[in-house]
Amino acid sequence: MATGVGEARINRLAYLYTMPALIIMALVVLYPFIYNVVISFSNMSLSHFRDWRLVGIINYKQVISNADFWYYFFKTVLWTALNLIFHVSIGVFLAMLLNKDIKGKSFFRTLLILPWAVPQYITALTWRGMFNSEYGAISLMLDKWFGVHIPWLSTEWGAFSACLITNIWLGFPFMMIIALGGLQSIPDELYEAAEIDGASWWQKFKTITVPLLKPVMVPAITLGVIWTFNNFNVVWLVSNGGEPSDKTHILVSYVYKTGFTYFRLGYAAAFSMVIFIILLLFSWNFIRKTKATEAVY
């Protein structure tokens, strides 16, 4: 920790320094959060906008008992899991290659982080264009080289795949860079010693690379899950707001739709709370579990 903290300077100045930022965070985050909690227990909607009243946990009951919720929940988990599997495996794999003695390493590294650098909404809109069934580059390529025609944006799972491919493109550089940082800090001697003991490639990977990469990857994966679970931009912009016929949603885009196009505000607020609680439970458990296994080493 910081050198100064050990001195335990308790000071009013500290409050002065943190106050402005905390006020802004409170204004934009804490206040809406509390507001959100309150309306999640209310019947607020377009017809009850000003004369809303508290109605208890009806909204929560509705969320949980709605078949759509479970359907989109399943889809969101699938979406998050597939994305993370691809992000981490591609990222770690490329990082391992870039960690070898190869000429032109920094050239490859720079080009490989490009997807991370492009603003997310541009990525999403661009990929939507590339999936266009008539003039999109992907459709043209598949048609020309393989003679296949996939209706990307007009079917439910086609659109899901389109979002998935877009987000894989977007997300692997982050994992790659984090993994590369982790790999570079593993001393070569460990691998040399293992080689002398006659360890196979797989044994070295399993007993050196994975455990030593874990402390860096666990926080990155936690963040990755949170970001992907809540990734509104890609799903909304690639599927143009849930097309076809509101099938292509994850939980967060579905809430947006109920909140901002159907104006069921109380319901949407309760829905948002449920998403938040899911993520909180996940992160808490995931970090605790991975810390627990760390203690074994």
Partner 1 sequence: MRKPRELSLAGKIGAYCVLTLFTIFSIYPVLCVFSISIRPGDRLLTKSLALIPQDATLQTYVRLFTQEPFLQWMANSLIVSAMVTLVGVGLAATTGYAFSRYKFRGRDTAMVGIITTQMFPVTMLLLPLFIMLIKLHAYDNYIGLVIAYSATALPFTVWQMKGYYDTIPYSLEEAASIDGCSQFGIFWRIILPLAAPALVITALFAFMTAWSEYLVAAVLIQDKNLFTLPLGLKTFQSSMEVSWGLYSAGAVIVSIPVVVLFLFLSRWLVSGLTLGSVKG
Long-range contacts (CB closer than 8 Å, 24 or more residues apart) made by 32-39: 36/269, 36/272, 36/273, 37/269, 37/273, 39/265, 39/266, 39/269
DSSP 50: S
User: By C-alpha distance, which of 261, 174, 255, 179 is closest to 216?
Assistant: 179
Residue 20, judged by CB atoms within 10 A of its CB (0-12, 13-18, 19+), counts as exposed
Helix axes of 210-229 and 67-98: crossing angle, nearest 10 degrees: 140
Residue 147, phi-psi category: left (phi > 0), alpha (psi -120 to 50), beta (remainder): left
Q: What is the spatial distance between Cα 169 and Cα 255, in angstroms, rounded to a whole number? A: 25
> In the complex, what is the shortest distance from the CB of residue 108 to partner 1, in angstroms, rounded to a whole number?
5
Residue 168 contacts residue 115 (beta carbons within 8 Å): no
Residue reference for tokens 């106050």: 19
- The answer to whether the bond into 187 is cis (omega within 30° of 0) is no
